[in-house]
Amino acid sequence: MFRLISFVVALVFFGTAVAQDIPLQVDDSIFATLSAEDKQIYSIHAESDNYILGRVNQISVDVELRILDPEGSPVSTIDSRTRGTEQFSFETEAEGQYTIEVSSKEEEHGDFSIVLERLEPVETDPSRLADQLMARYDRDDTPGGVISVFKDGQTLFSRAYGMANLSYDIPFQVDTVTNIGSTSKQFTAFAIMLLQEQGLLSLDDDIREHVPELPQFDEIVTVRHIITHTSGLREFLNLLSMSGRRLDHGDYIGRDEIIGIIQRQPALQNSPGSEWNYNNTGYALAALIVERISGQTFTEFMNNNVFGPIGMQDSLVRSSPEHIVKNNSAGYIPNPDGGYLEARDLGGAVGAGSIYTTVEDLQRWVENFRETRLGNSAIFEEMMTSYVLTDGEPTDYGYGLTIDEQGGLKRVHHGGADVAHRSMLAYFPEINAGITTQSNNAGFDGSIAFQLAEAFFGDAMVTELDEINEAGGPEFDRENYDPESFDELVGRYELDAVPDFIISFSRDGDTLYAEAAGQSQLEIVPTSELSFDLTSVDASLEFHRNEEGTVDSLTLNQGGEQHATRLNTELWEPTNGELSVFTGRYYSDEIETFYVMEMGEEQLTLSQRRLDDVELSPTEKDKFSGGQLSLSFERDRNDQVIGFYLSNGRTRGVRFALVSE
Give the tens place of pLDDT for each residue, 18-37: 456 899 999 989 999 988 77
CATH code for position 361: 3.40.710.10
C-alpha distance from residue 659 to each of 579, 597, 635 (Å): 18, 11, 14
CATH code for position 591: 2.40.128.50
- Report the pLDDT value the prediction gives residue 500, as an integer from 0 to 100: 66
- Report the pLDDT value the prediction gives residue 12, as an integer from 0 to 100: 34
- pLDDT band at residue 560, thresholds of 50, 70 and 90? low
Tell me how many domains the chain contains: 4
Residue 106 in this model has a pLDDT that exceeds 90? no
Q: Is the distance from CB of 72 to CB of 50 less than 8 angstroms?
A: no
Element (H, E) at 495: strand 491-495
Judgement on whether residues 458 and 494 belong to the same structural domain of the protein: no
- Report the pLDDT value the prediction gives residue 470, as an integer from 0 to 100: 52
Judgement on whether residues 108 and 250 belong to the same structural domain of the protein: no
Judgement on whether residues 345 and 198 belong to the same structural domain of the protein: yes
Domain boundary at 533, 548, 566, which? 566
Judgement on whether residues 111 and 257 belong to the same structural domain of the protein: no
Q: Which amino acid is present at 374?
A: L
Judgement on whether residues 195 and 222 belong to the same structural domain of the protein: yes
Judgement on whether residues 87 and 214 belong to the same structural domain of the protein: no
Residue 377 in this model has a pLDDT that exceeds 80? yes
What average pLDDT score do residues 276-297 get?
97
Rounded Cα–Cα distance for residues 44 and 274 (Å): 51
Rounded Cα–Cα distance for residues 300 and 305 (Å): 8
C-alpha distance from residue 209 to each of 140, 199, 202, 265, 301 (Å): 52, 14, 10, 19, 20
Residue among 412, 325, 371, 374 nearest 191 (CA): 374
Residue 650 in this model has a pLDDT that exceeds 80? yes
CATH code for position 112: 2.60.120.380
Q: What is the CA radius of gyration of the chain?
A: 25
Domain boundary at 122, 138, 171, which? 122
C-alpha distance from residue 234 to each of 264, 280, 387, 584 (Å): 10, 9, 20, 26
DSSP state of 39: E
- The count of other CB atoms within 10 Å of the CB of residue 513 is 16
Instruction: Please spell the DSSP secondary structure of 434-452, one letter per residue.
Output: EEEEEESBTT--TTHHHHH
Decide which of 551 and 14 is more confident: 551
Judgement on whether residues 460 and 530 belong to the same structural domain of the protein: no
Domain of residue 86: give its range: 1-122
Burial letters 401-434, b for 16+ CB under 10 A, else e: bbbeebbebebbbbbbbbbbbbbbbbbbbeeebb
Rounded Cα–Cα distance for residues 139 and 399 (Å): 37
Strands of 140-201 (E only): list them.
145-151, 154-161, 163-165, 170-171, 178-179
Rounded Cα–Cα distance for residues 319 and 297 (Å): 9
Classify 642 in phi/psi space as left (phi over 0), alpha (psi -120 to 50) or beta. alpha
What average pLDDT score do residues 111-137 get?
96
Domain boundary at 122, 139, 164, which? 122
Residue 562 in this model has a pLDDT that exceeds 90? no
Q: Which amino acid is present at 292?
A: R
What average pLDDT score do residues 622-635 get?
92
Residue 4 in this model has a pLDDT that exceeds 90? no
Instruction: Please spell the DSSP secondary structure of 224-259, one letter per residue.
Output: HHHHTT-S-PPPHHHHHHHTT--GGGT----TTHHH
Judgement on whether residues 228 and 316 belong to the same structural domain of the protein: yes
Residue 558 in this model has a pLDDT that exceeds 80? no
Rounded Cα–Cα distance for residues 121 and 440 (Å): 28
421 in any annotated domain? yes
Judgement on whether residues 490 and 610 belong to the same structural domain of the protein: no
Judgement on whether residues 526 and 416 belong to the same structural domain of the protein: no
50 in any annotated domain? yes
165 in any annotated domain? no
Judgement on whether residues 484 and 522 belong to the same structural domain of the protein: yes
290 in any annotated domain? yes
C-alpha distance from residue 18 to each of 56, 83, 111, 432, 608 (Å): 18, 22, 13, 57, 44
Residue among 190, 201, 186 nearest 379 (CA): 190
- pLDDT band at residue 441, thresholds of 50, 70 and 90? very high
What average pLDDT score do residues 282-296 get?
98
Rounded Cα–Cα distance for residues 595 and 585 (Å): 6
- Report the pLDDT value the prediction gives residue 9, as an integer from 0 to 100: 30
- pLDDT band at residue 95, thresholds of 50, 70 and 90? very high
Judgement on whether residues 530 and 640 belong to the same structural domain of the protein: no
User: In which order are the strands placed within the sheet that holds 623-626?
Assistant: 611-615, 604-608, 593-599, 584-588, 654-660, 641-647, 629-635, 623-626, 617-618
What average pLDDT score do residues 559-583 get?
86
Decide which of 389 and 515 is more confident: 389
pLDDT in tens, 327-338: 999 999 999 888
The angle subtended at Cα 240 by Cα 238 and Cα 243, nearest 5°, is 115
469 in any annotated domain? no
Please provide the average confidence, as pLDDT, over all residues in the chain.
91
Rounded Cα–Cα distance for residues 186 and 646 (Å): 31
Q: Is the distance from CB of 189 to CB of 286 less than 8 angstroms?
A: yes
- Which residues, 6+ apart, have CB-to-CB distance to 58 below 8 Å? 81, 82, 83, 84, 85, 86, 110, 112, 338
Instruction: Give the SS3 label for residue 385.
Output: coil
Q: Which of 4-13, 214-223, 610-619 shows the lowest per-residue confidence on average (mean pLDDT)?
A: 4-13
Sign, CA dihedral 85-126-173-178, equals: positive
pTM value is 0.89
146 in any annotated domain? no
Q: Which of 192-206, 397-411, 560-574, 630-644 shows the lowest per-residue confidence on average (mean pLDDT)?
A: 560-574
130 in any annotated domain? no
416 in any annotated domain? yes
